[in-house]
A and B are shown apart, each in its own frame.
Chain A
Amino acid sequence: MSILLTEEQELIGQSAREFAKEYLDPIAAELDHTGQFPAAIVKQLAAQDFLGLFVASEYGGAEAGYVSLVEVVENLSRSSAAVASILVNHSLAAYAIQRWGDAAQKQAFLPALAAGGTLGGFAVFEHGPTPGVGPNALIATKHAAGWALKGTKAYVRNAGAADVYVVLACTDPAAGAKAQAAFIVPAKAIGLSVGPLAETMGLKGCPVADLVFDDVVIADSALLGGPTDGQTITTETLALASVAEAAQTAGIGQAAVEHAAAYSKTRVQFGRPIATLQAIQTLLAETAADCHLARLGLRCAAKLMDDGEPFLVEAAMVKQFLARNGAKLLIDTVQVEGGFGYSEFMPLPRLFRDIAGTTLLDAPADYPEKTIAAALLA
């Protein structure tokens, strides 16, 4: 047993790895090429209980916790970070509903989210620099019978594929970002439409698009938490995103390191395999060490979540570490493989594009250094 993983968590990681080898390795390159949403794979994720991974058992989830979540995400990402990205964004919606939902909301949404009958999405970002500010901000206006949502959410992942979204909206345009509330909005709500799919650099197959709200009327029961809880919900849920995406980054990096190491043993230059060259060994050793350290950090943050401890600072540290080192993992491994590694018939270009997504997207509510420094200087 690992010092950081229980026997069950190791087995869960092993199951995810077996699943990824069996079902994701054969389709990963094609998914990257076509960008088609892998609906059949998502059903298989549900059959493995991955979609209800940390959802409480009373709602049909596996209740396996957040360390198990990052184990699954990392092991899926070693084969297809795009599929892992679908799982992560689904999990953000499930997390928000489980964490802040009332009993009726949990009963209404969590069983289907856990079983896979419903796919979730988490809609926070807008085209303006700050949610709630600017001409396209999503504004929630209170009516006697509920709320009316008007505006646009941007860069929403699982957009168009999700059946339900957790949406952040501004309840007071004058207050802007300071007046945010979260709502549970079914994808089939009247007035809600999905914009054109965005052409992304990587993570292809996990759809990204705008959600356009044209006076979408929802009941009071759609409000998640209190009317001023939006910022808290966003901050904590995006911290989970930082941890889960760090697991994606570690998985992609691990796949790249293993591929480059295997390549270096077969590629002969100067009459010997390049694996015998110190420069190559240094690149491989540094990338392997970065993956290992990232893994320790993200498991630590996930363990804090399992224990119900504060985890925002540790999540920010993981985000910061991989923002600096994530892309370098791929730069170095491509360097090991040289011209071959640069070629599209090798997997590293896909991994390169994917790791850019996992380190850039779903930025935390504040830049990570601010969160870390605030804790230090408080």
Chain B
Amino acid sequence: MPKLLVCYKWVLNEQDIKIRPDDLSLDTSRAKGKISDFDRNAIEEASLIVEQQGGTVDALSYGTSAVKQSVKDVLSRGPNRLLWVGDPSAEEADAYVIASVLAAAIRKNGPYDLILCGEGSSDMFYQQIPARLAALLDLPCLTFVQKMTLEGGAVTALRKLGDCTEQVSVTGPAVVSVLSEINKPRIPSLKQVLGAAKKPSEEIPIASLGLTPEELAPKAVRKSPKGFLMNRKNVVYKESDAAANVAKLVASLAAEGLR
């Protein structure tokens, strides 16, 4: 029976984030958390594999204390157990730190036959975690996966490239990062939501992972993220002749460099 792990990130719902018009800073005061979009696909794929073949799925996340809010949401979507590392260091963590923490937690709780991730997170979209995890765990890594099977310990994956696809297979444990087209994440039923409370979850103290201060120090420091506001020109062409309006619009677009 395969033992799977799926990594996910608890991010702020971008629909709740407001941009302050005066300085374009982000107002996240009323933003709720959510499972990062691609990670929902990873959770679904891991759950489908186990539902079809048997086995177990652990879910793992590293975040601030807010990650605790994700426990029942994630468990209602299929995983059998949830492990989470909640620590203030996650606030400033870059891909290097995130991968270091996740890899240490995996070493502590593994081994796993397959590790699934989303291709990138909804907030930072570094797209580095799967590759870094694979490197730290000395495992093969398959990215941009839009279709996959797990048979007899071998993963066969269809990778989506720029203008083509390629089929790849690896034997043994691997890290796989999935795209949104791989599946349609389930909407948990009421019984699945209520059943989540009965599944085990465990906080892993970051101090128990044996990480050095260097491994918890971000290499890339994020500074004052700013919003982007699209300023519309609000031009209205009011000629009675529609053709004249179109001509003016085309001329205006051409003047903007659109041809």
Contacts and interface: CB of A to CB of B under 8 A. Distances in A.
Contacts of A12: 190, 193
A78 to B, nearest CB: 14
Contacts of A11: 72-73, 76, 188, 193, 196
Contacts of B207: none
B197 interface: yes
Contacts of B234: 268, 271
A8 interface: yes
Contacts of A49: 189-191
A321 interface: no
Interface in B23-71: 69
B187 interface: yes
A268 B233 CA distance: 11
B194 interface: yes
Interface residues of B, number: 15
A333 B213 CA distance: 56
Interface stretch (A15-23, A29-37, A142-150, A347-355): A15-23
A19 B187 contact: yes
B76 A48 contact: no
Interface in B185-211: 187-191, 193-194, 196-197
B61 to A, nearest CB: 16
A221 B196 CA distance: 39
Contacts of A22: 187
Nearest to A9: B193
Given A8-B194, A8-B197, A268-B234, A47 B189 contact: yes
Interface string A29-64: 000000000000000000111100100000000111
Interface residues of A, number: 20
A7 interface: yes
A18 B187 contact: yes
A244 to B, nearest CB: 16
A238 to B, nearest CB: 25
Given A268-B234, A271-B234, A8 B193 contact: yes
A11 B32 CA distance: 12
A152 interface: no
Interface in A326-344: none
Nearest to B185: A18
A15 B72 contact: no
B183 to A, nearest CB: 14
B190 A7 contact: no
Contacts of B76: 11, 15
A320 B46 CA distance: 49
A143 to B, nearest CB: 42
A92 to B, nearest CB: 19
A15 B189 contact: yes
A338 B143 CA distance: 50
Nearest to B73: A11
Nearest to B197: A8
Interface in B153-211: 187-191, 193-194, 196-197
A158 interface: no
Contacts of A268: 234, 236
Contacts of A271: 234
Given A7-B72, A8-B72, A15 B187 contact: yes
A68 interface: yes
Contact of A48 (B69, B73, B190, B196): B190
Contacts of B72: 7-8, 11
A48 B194 contact: no
A62 B187 contact: no
Contacts of B196: 8, 11
A15 B189 CA distance: 7
A268 B144 CA distance: 42
B79 to A, nearest CB: 15
Question: Which of B76, B188, B190, B234 has the most chain A CB atoms inside 10 A of its CB?
Answer: B190
A245 B140 CA distance: 55
A15 B188 contact: yes
A197 B194 CA distance: 38
B15 to A, nearest CB: 11
A64 B194 CA distance: 8
B73 A62 contact: no
A135 to B, nearest CB: 44
Interface of A: 7-8, 11-12, 14-15, 18-19, 22, 47-50, 53, 62-64, 68, 268, 271
Interface of B: 69, 72-73, 76, 187-191, 193-194, 196-197, 234, 236
Those 3 A-B pairs whose CB atoms lie nearest each other, nearest first = A49-B190, A62-B190, A49-B189
Given A7-B72, A49-B189, A64-B194, 15 more contacts: A8-B72, A11-B72, A11-B73, A12-B190, A14-B73, A18-B187, A19-B187, A47-B189, A48-B189, A49-B190, A49-B191, A62-B189, A63-B194, A68-B190, A268-B236
28 contacts: A7-B69, A8-B196, A8-B197, A11-B72, A11-B73, A11-B76, A11-B193, A11-B196, A12-B190, A14-B73, A15-B76, A15-B187, A15-B189, A15-B190, A18-B187, A22-B187, A47-B189, A48-B189, A48-B190, A49-B190, A49-B191, A50-B190, A62-B189, A62-B190, A62-B191, A64-B194, A268-B236, A271-B234
